[in-house]
Structure 1
Amino acid sequence: MEKRKIALKAPIAVQLKKGETYYYCTCGKSSDQPFCDGSHKDTSFTPMEFTATLDGVSHLCACKHTKNPPYCDGTHDKL
């Protein structure tokens, strides 16, 4: 089974706009973390599409092991 790359062992704060659709990187290879840049093309991973429910700053997972993707749940502290 292919492993996700840990991009960073911390969340990434991003400004989201309510109602906008985003593509969260699930492979960890994107150079545009936490968003997808197409680097998954040679993997079995696909980006996760999500729509922001609120305007403002959100902390998205960069370790790629959260149980609540795309949002950070603190799992990076245990890696």
Structure 2
Amino acid sequence: MAAPLKVWRFIIARPIFTLNKRFFKSSSFMGAKKDDIEKAEPVENILKPKVKPHPETPAPGEYEVEPPKGKIYDKKPFKMELEAGKKYAWCVCGLSHTQPLCDGTHKTDFMARKQRGIKFHPHSFKVTETKEYWLCNCKQTDKRPFCDGSHKMQAVQDALK
């Protein structure tokens, strides 16, 4: 039995672990030798595990989830001149102070509590030619970010008086 060791005024009855000489071989602990590296198999040739798809996995496009529609901001669309090639971020949540474009209000803690877990992200888009476009302000459109007449629905009209 090994002699007891004194550590911080406590007596340890036996060593906690012992090191094996095989642990210190150059290829495992100290790093591989140059010859070992040259003989090593390329990373591309290492087999990767094959993953089988789950039998209940839906096919792409089988269950399309509609993006969430935000709070109704206004009953009518907004006419705005957009420049070709410039990137715009259309507000989806309906709480932006720079409507119809996003100002980052969806990131606030208040917004997260109010929408009960629904995460909104702005809809980024570019236009091909510079001209005036009608952007949706009711946030119920199916042709984001452009108006499709959804503001004419009775539910939208009744939401804001």
TM-score by structure 1 length?
Answer: 0.92
Equivalent runs, 1:33-72 vs 2, <5 Å: 33-41=99-107, 42-43=111-112, 44-72=119-147
**Identity of paired residues, percent?**
42
Task: Using CA pairs under 8 Å that are at least 6 residues apart, name the structure with larger relative contact order, 1 or 2.
Answer: 1
Which structure 2 residue ranges, 5 or more long, are not aligned?
1-67, 113-118, 157-161
Does the 8 Å CA contact 2:69/2:92 hold for their aligned counterparts?
A: no
Amino acid at match of 1:60: L
**Structure number, greater radius of gyration:** 2
Quick one: structure 1 residues 3 and 71, their matched pair in 2 at CA, closer, same or farther if it must change by over 3 Å?
A: closer
Q: How many equivalent pairs are there? A: 78
Q: Distance in 2 between matches of 1:22 and 1:60?
A: 11
Match of 1:5 among 47, 71, 83: 71
Deviation of 1:6 after TM superposition, in Å, equals 0.7
Higher helix share: 2
1:20 to partner: Cα distance: 0.6
Higher strand content, 1 or 2: 1
Q: Is the 8 A contact 2:80 2:134 kept in 1?
A: yes
* CA distance in structure 1 between the partners assigned to 2:83 and 2:69 by the alignment: 31
Equivalent position amino acid for 2:132 in 1:
V
Report how far residue 52 of structure 1 moved. 1.3
Normalising by structure 2, report the TM-score: 0.46
From 151, 154, 157, the equivalent of 1:76 is 151
Alignment counterpart, residue 18 of structure 1, candidates 84, 90, 112? 84
The residue type equivalent to 2:76 in the other structure is: A
Once structures 1 and 2 are overlaid, which stretch shifts more, 38-47 or 22-31? 38-47
RMSD value, Cα: 1.3
Offset of residue 3 of structure 1 = 6.0
3-state SS of the aligned residue for 1:40?
helix
